[in-house]
Amino acid sequence: MITNAIKLTLLLVLAFIDSGVTALADENQVSFSRDVRPVLSDRCYRCHGPDQVARQADLRLDREASAFADRDGMPAIVAGNIGASSLVKRITSDDADEVMPPPDSGMTLSSEEIALITRWIEQGAKWEKHWAYIAPQTSRLPEVRNSEWEQNPIDRFVLARLEKAGLGPAPAADRRTLIRRVSLDLTGLPPTPAEIIEFVADESSQAYDRVVDRLLDSTRFGEHMSLPWLEASRYADTSGYQEDYGRFMYPWRTWVINALNNNMPFDQFVIEQMAGDLLPDATHETILATAFNRNHRINQELGAIPEEYLVEYAIDRLETMGTVFLGTTIGCARCHDHKYDPFTQKEFYELYAFLNNNDDEGLDQTSRFGFCKPFIEHPTPEQQAELDVLQHSLDSLKGAKSTSDQEFVAYQNWLDQWNQQPPLGVSPWFSLGPFEHEQATRVTGFDHAYIDEPMVDQSIKSGELAWRKQVKWGQDGQAIVLGGEFTTYYAFRELYSAKSEEITIGLGASDAVKVWINGELLLSRREEGSNTPKAEPMKVRLREGRNEVLIKLSNGGFFQSFIFAPRQRKTVPIDVFHAIRAPLDQRTVDQQEQLHAHFHTLQIAKA
C-alpha cells in the first residue's frame, strides 16, 4: 500500500538511526561510508575520482579496486598497514612536492581528518558502498532507561538519542494542539472548531485513533499527500517555454489524488503511471495514469526544431524517473559520466532509449488550445452519461439513414472517374536525418552516402538510422521544409500503380538533390535549384503495384525544401487505392467505409 511506502521510509530512518547508535556505542570504530568517503569526496575526488579528463596518476579513490591496487609496489591503501599505504605517506608529508592535497589546490586536510583516514586503515580499511546503495537491515532496539514512556518502537530510538544527550521527552501536547498537528499533517488543513470541541470532549482511549481514521478517509488526505508527488512529477497547468499556453492535465492530478485516497498498492501506482497503456488489461484509467510521462514542457514556438525538443522531452522523462524512483540526479550524466553517483554517460542514454518511444510531437501547435498530441478524451461521469445518450441516438440515425440520390450520384461518378483513370496510391513520407556535413558545404553531404544508397532498411526502429514517419508533411504539390544548416536528409515513400506505365513527376528542390525510383537514379543535381513543382520534370516508368521513391537532399545553409507532385494524376492513401482496385462484389465493409470517408473528405475540402 502507499501508506506502506511511508512505513518503508520510517524503516530507512530507523536503519540510519541504528547505525548512528552503533557508532556511538563504539566511537573508535571508523566507518568508510560515514567518516572517510565524505573527506575523500571533498578533498580528493577532483583529481582522483570519476572524471577521466581531470584524473591524475590514473588513481581513483572512489573505486575499491583502484584504491587497493598494487601500483608497482606503491599501493594507495593497504588494509591494516599504514606504513605501506602511500595515501598516508602523502597526506602526512611535509614536502610541498609530495603532500596531498597539493598546496596549489587550495585544500588541506585537518589533523582530525588525517587521523580518521589513518585509523580507518589501521582498523582494516573496510570498504563500504555509498549509504544510499546499502540495503537497510532490521534495526535492533536500543536500550533506554525510561521504557514506560515509549508507545511504539520508533519512540525508543528517539528516546535513546535524547537520553544520551541528557535530555528527556517534551511534555505531552494538549488535546487542542494534538488535533491541530495531526490535521495539518494529514490534510494540510486545520481542524474546524466543531472537530476540536468533539475531540477535547472525547476522553476515551480510542479518541485519537478515531481522529486519524477520519482524516485518512477524507478526500483532503489525498489532495494534501499528492503535492510532493505532483511537484516531483513536474505537474503543471501550462506547457512552459515562451508562450506557456494552458493545458488540461488536471485529470491526471485527480487520478493521483484518487490513487492515494484509495490506498492503491505502490507497485501498481508506479506501473500504471510508467506503462499503464501497455498492460494486457489496460483501461481508460490506466491509460490516463500514463499522463505522468507527458508532464514535461511542450514547445509551440515557431522556428523550433521538432527533433531537438523530442530529445528534450525524453531527457525530461528520464531525469524525472531518476528523481522520483531512483532518488538521484541522473541528469548529470547527460553530458558526462556522473561525478558522484555510479552512472556513466553511456548508461544515461541506454536508459534514455526506454523513454524515447512516445508518439508525441516536438513542436505541437495544437497545445495552444490545451491539447497536446497524442491525447485522450476524458469526460466526467455526467458528460459520459450525456455522450452515451447521444451515441445511442446517433447509432439509431445511422441505421435509418439512406444516402440521398444526389450524394449517391456524386459518389458513383467519383468511383467511375477512378475506374477510368486510376489514381496513384501513396504512403506517408518517411525521413532519415538530419546528417551534419563534415565540412560546411553542400556537396560534402551530396557526395557522402550516409546509408547504403539506394537501399532502404525500414526494419531499424531506433537510433540514427531509424526512419521516422512524417504524418505532418504537406500534401503532394506543397512545399516540405527541412531545418538545419549544412545537413542531409533522406525522404522515402511508396507509390502504387494500377498498371505498368510511364508518368511525369514534378520535383522541385531548393538545394542539391538525388532521386531514385525503384533503385534507378533518375535525377542528380549538385547545385541549388528551385522548389517549384515544374522545376525538375521526370519521366518515370512505374511498374504495376509497389514502387519505391528515395530522395536525398543536401543543403548549404539556412533551410531547404522540396516539392513532389505527380502530374495529371491524383494521389490517394494506399488503403483507399486498394479499396478502389477491389472488385465491387469483393469489397469489404472496411474498404467501403474507407472510400466513403475519403469521398467525404474531398467534398469537405471543396466546400
∠ Cα 60 64 70 (to 5°)? 75
Distance CA 13, CA 5 (A): 13
Of the pLDDT bands very low, low, confident and very high (cuts 50, 70, 90), residue 71 is: very high
Residue 8 has pLDDT above 80, yes or no: no
Of the pLDDT bands very low, low, confident and very high (cuts 50, 70, 90), residue 9 is: very low
Q: What separation, in Å, do the N-terminal and C-terminal C-alpha atoms of the chain show?
A: 57
SS (H, E, C) 108-134: CCCHHHHHHHHHHHHCCCCCCCCHHHC
Listed range (21-25, 79-83, 443-447) with the worst mean pLDDT? 21-25
Sign of CA dihedral 263, 265, 270, 275: negative
Q: What percent of the chain has pLDDT over 70?
A: 92
Kindly report the backbone phi and psi dihedral angles of residue 509, in degrees, each rounded to the nearest multiple of 5, phi listed first. -140, 135
pLDDT of residue 35: 93
User: What would the DSSP string read from start to end of 319-352?
Assistant: HHHIIIII-S-GGGGGTSS-SSSS--HHHHHHHH
Mark residue 188 as left, alpha or beta (left: phi above 0; alpha: psi -120 to 50; beta: remaining). Answer: left
Distance CA 126, CA 148 (A): 39
Kindly report the backbone phi and psi dihedral angles of residue 290, in degrees, each rounded to the nearest multiple of 5, phi listed first. -70, 0
pLDDT digits (tens, 9 = 90+) for 104-146: 999 999 999 999 999 999 999 999 988 888 888 888 999 999 9
Sign of CA dihedral 411, 414, 418, 420: positive
- Residue 315 and residue 352 in contact, taking contact as beta carbons nearer than 8 Å: yes
pLDDT of residue 4: 42
Distance CA 272, CA 283 (A): 10
User: What would the DSSP string read from start to end of 511-568?
Assistant: SEEEEEETTEEEEEE-S----STTSEEEEEEEPSEEEEEEEEEE-SSS-EEEEEEETT
CATH architecture of 424-584: Sandwich (2.60)
**Helix, strand, coil percent content, the chain, rounded in steps of 5:** 45, 15, 40
Name the strands in the sheet holding 480-482, side by side, starting at the edge strand that comes first in the sequence: 480-482, 560-566, 501-509, 536-542
Average per-residue pLDDT in the chain?
87
pLDDT of residue 366: 62
Q: Which residue has the higher pLDDT, 166 or 363?
A: 166
- Residue 373 and residue 364 in contact, taking contact as beta carbons nearer than 8 Å: yes
Delimiting residues of CATH 2.60.120 domain(s) in the chain: 424-584
User: What would the DSSP string read from start to end of 272-283?
Assistant: HHHHGGGSTT--
Distance CA 256, CA 230 (A): 8
pLDDT of residue 358: 80
What 3-state class would DSSP assign to 287?
helix
Cell numbers for 485: 544548416
Regarding pTM above 0.75, the answer is no
Of the pLDDT bands very low, low, confident and very high (cuts 50, 70, 90), residue 601 is: confident
Distance CA 30, CA 82 (A): 15
Average pLDDT over residues 422-445: 87
Residue type, 50: P
For cell 556522473, the residue is 338
∠ Cα 485 491 494 (to 5°)? 170
Residue type, 559: F
Cell numbers for 506: 514534378
∠ Cα 143 144 150 (to 5°)? 115
Distance CA 360, CA 408 (A): 39
